[in-house]
C-alpha cells in the first residue's frame, strides 16, 4: 500500500493512500471529534463535528476528504471548536441527559465529544424547547430502542443497509419530528429486522441497548457453536458466567459480524438445566455417568441391534468435515444408509 506523508497539528505522519484525514488522524493517535463516523461504514458526513482546517483550503470535513501528499492540517482552534459546538448543542436540545441511567454511560461518543468541546449545562439548556418524550420500543426480545437518546447519526441505518442488506429502518418525518423508524412506524419486532444486533454494537450512544447489560470483568476468545461456519466470538466473562458476546474482529471467518444466535443466544451456557455429564437411564430415571461408561453402552447397543435397526442424525452445529466423517462412519462402519441431517428440514 502506497504511503502518503502529511502534517497534522505540526506532527509529520504517514497514512495509506485512500484513507481519509479522520482515519489517518485516528490511526496515529490524534483525536478529532466525530459522531457519525464508523470504521465499517462508508463516510456520511452528517454530523459536521469532524471539521478540520486544511492549509490553503479552509474548513474541511475530515471524514470524507482523502489524504494527499504534503497536506498541512490543523485539528484545533477556538474558531473550529465554536463551529463544532453548534451541532452538538442542537443534539443536546432534545437529548435525554440522564447519563447515569444510560447503558452507554462512560462509553458514549456524545459524552466524549461534549467533554472535548467543553460544553456547559447553561449553553445546552438554553437550546431546549421543552421535554418531548418519545415512546421506547421494547418489542424486540434482545434489545430496546430509545429514540430519546438518538442523535440521528444514521449509523444504525447504514449498518442495516451496507452490512446486513436488510433495510429494516430509515429516517422518517422531518425537522423537529424526525426519527429513526421501521416501515409504517411499526414495532421493531414486527419489521424486517433479523435481530442480528449489528446496529446495537455500532450505536455510539444509548439509543440501542441490549436488554441484558452487565459489565464483564474479562474477555475470552472462542468460536461460536451454533453452526459449522466457525464465527469467532469474544465472550464477556464475569466470575464463572458469560454475560455478553461480541464478534471477534480479528477472525477471518466473520470479521466481527454475528447472527442473532451467536450474539444473544448464550444463556444456555449458564443455565441450571444444562447437561454437563452423560446421562444413562437406569430404573426409569436418568443418572449421571462417565464418558467411558456411556460410550461402552452405545457400542454395546450398536452390536445388539445391528445395522437394520440403527439410524444416525447429524447436526448443523458440526463442521462440514465432522459431518463427512459421521456419514462415512454410518455407511462404512455401521453399514447403513439411514442417515439424516437437521439442515435438510
Quote the pTM value.
0.84
Contact between 152 and 205 under an 8 Å Cβ cutoff? The reply is no
Instruction: Check whether residue 52 and residue 103 sit in a common domain.
Output: yes
Q: How many CA atoms lie within 13 A of 74 on its CB side?
A: 12
pLDDT digits (tens, 9 = 90+) for 33-88: 999 999 999 999 999 999 999 999 999 999 999 999 999 999 999 999 999 998 99
Determine, yes or no, domain membership for 161: no
Q: Which residues contact 301 (CB under 8 A, 6 or more apart)?
A: none
Determine, yes or no, domain membership for 146: no
**Pick from 69, 99, 125: which residue ends a domain?**
125
| pLDDT at res. 226 | 87
Q: Is 135 helix (H, G, I), strand (E, B) or coil?
A: coil
pLDDT band at 95 (very low <50, low <70, confident <90, very high): confident
Asked whether the predicted pLDDT for residue 131 surpasses 70, the reply is no
Give me the torsion for CA of 8, 14, 16, 18, rounded to 10°.
30
Determine, yes or no, domain membership for 291: yes
Instruction: Check whether residue 114 and residue 221 sit in a common domain.
Output: no
Determine, yes or no, domain membership for 167: no
- What's the mean pLDDT in 116-135? 75
Cα diameter, the chain: 88
| pLDDT at res. 273 | 87
pLDDT digits (tens, 9 = 90+) for 187-211: 999 999 999 999 999 999 999 999 9
pLDDT digits (tens, 9 = 90+) for 260-272: 999 999 988 888 8
Q: Which residues contact 195 (CB under 8 A, 6 or more apart)?
A: 140, 141, 142, 143, 260, 264
Determine, yes or no, domain membership for 16: yes
Determine, yes or no, domain membership for 162: no
Provide the number of structural domains found in the chain. Answer: 4
Residue with cell 458526513: 45
Which domain range does residue 253 map to?
A: 215-274
Instruction: Check whether residue 325 and residue 229 sit in a common domain.
Output: no
In 3D, which of 53, 55, 40 has the Cα closest to residue 162? 40
- What's the mean pLDDT in 128-133? 68
In 3D, which of 286, 288, 332, 285 has the Cα closest to residue 312? 332
Determine, yes or no, domain membership for 331: yes
Asked whether the predicted pLDDT for residue 101 surpasses 90, the reply is no
Instruction: Check whether residue 236 and residue 298 sit in a common domain.
Output: no
Instruction: Check whether residue 111 and residue 7 sit in a common domain.
Output: yes
Distance CA 302, CA 103 (A): 54
Instruction: Check whether residue 323 and residue 231 sit in a common domain.
Output: no
Instruction: Check whether residue 225 and residue 334 sit in a common domain.
Output: no
Q: Is 98 helix (H, G, I), strand (E, B) or coil?
A: coil
Instruction: Check whether residue 11 and residue 108 sit in a common domain.
Output: yes
Instruction: Check whether residue 288 and residue 323 sit in a common domain.
Output: no
Instruction: Check whether residue 234 and residue 265 sit in a common domain.
Output: yes
Q: Which residues contact 110 (CB under 8 A, 6 or more apart)?
A: 35, 88, 91, 95, 151, 204, 205
| pLDDT at res. 163 | 94
CATH value at residue 89: 3.10.20.740
| pLDDT at res. 133 | 80
Instruction: Check whether residue 90 and residue 19 sit in a common domain.
Output: yes
Amino acid at each position: 500500500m502506497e504511503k502518503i506523508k502529511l502534517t497534522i497539528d505540526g506532527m509529520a505522519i504517514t497514512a495509506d493512500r485512500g484513507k481519509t484525514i479522520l482515519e489517518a488522524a485516528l490511526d496515529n493517535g490524534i483525536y478529532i471529534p466525530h459522531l457519525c463516523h464508523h470504521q465499517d461504514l462508508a463516510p456520511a458526513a452528517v454530523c459536521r463535528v469532524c471539521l478540520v482546517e486544511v492549509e490553503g483550503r479552509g474548513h474541511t470535513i475530515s471524514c470524507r476528504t482523502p489524504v494527499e501528499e504534503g497536506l498541512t492540517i490543523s485539528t484545533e482552534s477556538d474558531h473550529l471548536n465554536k463551529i463544532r459546538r453548534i451541532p452538538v448543542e442542537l443534539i443536546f436540545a432534545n437529548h435525554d441527559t440522564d447519563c447515569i441511567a444510560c447503558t452507554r454511560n462512560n462509553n458514549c461518543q456524545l459524552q466524549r465529544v461534549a467533554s472535548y468541546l467543553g460544553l456547559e449545562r447553561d449553553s445546552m439548556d438554553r437550546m431546549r424547547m421543552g421535554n418531548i418524550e418519545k415512546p421506547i420500543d421494547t418489542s424486540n426480545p434482545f434489545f430496546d430502542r430509545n429514540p430519546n437518546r438518538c442523535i440521528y447519526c444514521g449509523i444504525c441505518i447504514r449498518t442495516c443497509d451496507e452490512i446486513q442488506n436488510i433495510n429494516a429502518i430509515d429516517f422518517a418525518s422531518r425537522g423537529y419530528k424526525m426519527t429513526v423508524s421501521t416501515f409504517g412506524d411499526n414495532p421493531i419486532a414486527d419489521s424486517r429486522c433479523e435481530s442480528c444486533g449489528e446496529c446495537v454494537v455500532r450505536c455510539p450512544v444509548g439509543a440501542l441497548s441490549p436488554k441484558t447489560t452487565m459489565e464483564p470483568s474479562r474477555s475470552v476468545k472462542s468460536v461460536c457453536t451454533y453452526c459449522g461456519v466457525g464465527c469467532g466470538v469474544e465472550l464477556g466473562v464475569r466470575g464463572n458466567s458469560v454475560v455478553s458476546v461480541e464478534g471477534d474482529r480479528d477472525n477471518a471467518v466473520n470479521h466481527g459480524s454475528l447472527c442473532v444466535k451467536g450474539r444473544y443466544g448464550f444463556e444456555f451456557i449458564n443455565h441450571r438445566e444444562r447437561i454437563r455429564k452423560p446421562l444413562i437411564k437406569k430404573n426409569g430415571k436418568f443418572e449421571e455417568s462417565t464418558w467411558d461408561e456411556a460410550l461402552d453402552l452405545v457400542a454395546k447397543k450398536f452390536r445388539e441391534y445391528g445395522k437394520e435397526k440403527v439410524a444416525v442424525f447429524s447436526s448443523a452445529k458440526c463442521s462440514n468435515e465432522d459431518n463427512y466423517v459421521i456419514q462415512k462412519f454410518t455407511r462404512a462402519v455401521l453399514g447403513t444408509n439411514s442417515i439424516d441431517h437437521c439442515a435438510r428440514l
